[in-house]
Amino acid sequence: MKPKLRKQLTTILKISVSALLIWLVFSKLNWNEVGRLLQVANLIYFGLAIICFLASQLISVLRFDLFIRKIGIRMSFQVNIRLYLLGMFYNFFLPGGIGGDAYKVYLLNKSHQKSFKKIGEVVFIERFIGVVAIGFLASMLIMFIETPLSRFWNIGIGVCGFAVTLIILKWVIRYLHSHKKRVYIVFAYSILIQLFQLGCVFFILKSFHIDDHYLIYLLLFLVSSVLSVISFAGIGIREAVFYYGAHWYDFNPDISASVALSFSIFTAILSFAGIIWLFGGIRLENRQKQNDAEL
């Protein structure tokens, strides 16, 4: 099968999964209850949730910049933000054609004359380490959550998660020996990103006056983040995990799904900001060339 056709089929499949999950969840939600939740939401906590979300995205920009600097790409922080938002817009609002990450690779290749392979490698590893960080935090959370398993098994999952994380990071370093120090730093950045996103979910819960079972909600969020790869831009999968997870733990499914929906709305609003540079263009200056010219 041709790569282009495979990509198109994959995109269609992801959109179908998202559409199906949205239909399954939204058709069962009590929208009167959702509306009531939004009306009585604590705006201070909701504001703190937005701040945490924005902080996680800014750290994501810094994480990407850390890797691309190693291959000789220098850009200002402002330009990095514009590129990041443009990538988010492509991922969230343009299901067909080129994805956000692929478009960033294309732009950087065009502006800095670096090989597609090098830039694509950096983008892939950055994303991959991000997923590893999610898995690591999820395994740590399981140690402190009551599950049908015994306490021994919970601790065992945590220990295995820690060991597997170290093995994977060592493997990445062996594959990218020139990025040895950066791999651990990027992993630390990824942990920080997820902690801010968990903080976002925590404050959304507080804004909806939910005062218990925080760790379970946070675990559901991490699980939905990993599973988001099977849907389009994570749409539908996060709401489905929260909705059906609420049934599993005997929570209010309307409240649970509203938490996930709020996070998705944050993502959609920020992603839409990328439309400014979709039509206005984005100039990716090569600061290394500028510095060389000044010397």
- pLDDT per residue as tens digits for the range 15-31: 787 788 888 888 888 88
Give tens-digit pLDDT for 208-242: 988 888 999 999 999 998 888 777 666 788 888 99
Give tens-digit pLDDT for 163-175: 999 999 888 888 7
Per-residue confidence band for 1, with pLDDT thresholds at 50, 70 and 90: low
Q: What CA–CA distance (Å, rounded) separates 206 from 180?
A: 40
pLDDT at position 2 over 80: no
Q: Which long-range contacts (CB under 8 A, 24 or more apart) does 118-121 make?
A: 118/71, 119/68, 119/71, 119/73, 121/176
- What whole-number percentage of the chain has pLDDT above 70? 84
Give tens-digit pLDDT for 60-112: 999 988 878 877 888 888 888 888 888 888 877 765 445 677 778 888 888 77
Q: Which residue has the higher pLDDT, 89 or 51?
A: 51
Q: Domain ranges in the chain? A: 3-282
Name the token pair of 268.
């959609």
pLDDT of 115 reads: 78
Q: How high does pLDDT run on average in the chain?
A: 82
Instruction: Note the pTM of the prediction, 2 decimals.
Output: 0.85
Give tens-digit pLDDT for 121-164: 888 888 889 999 999 999 999 888 876 666 778 888 889 999 99
pLDDT of 195 reads: 96
Q: What CA–CA distance (Å, rounded) separates 218 from 199?
A: 9
- What whole-number percentage of the chain has pLDDT above 90? 25
Give tens-digit pLDDT for 188-212: 999 999 999 999 999 999 999 888 8
Per-residue confidence band for 289, with pLDDT thresholds at 50, 70 and 90: very low
Region 44-49: what's the mean pLDDT? 95
Backbone angles phi, psi at 126, to 5 degrees: -60, -45
pLDDT of 5 reads: 66
DSSP 133-175: HHHHHHHHHHTTS--SS-HHHHHHHHHHHHHHHHHHHHHHHHH
pLDDT of 179 reads: 63
Region 35-60: what's the mean pLDDT? 92
pLDDT of 45 reads: 95
Name the token pair of 88.
């988010």
Q: Which residue has the higher pLDDT, 60 or 178?
A: 60
Region 250-272: what's the mean pLDDT? 88
Region 42-66: what's the mean pLDDT? 93
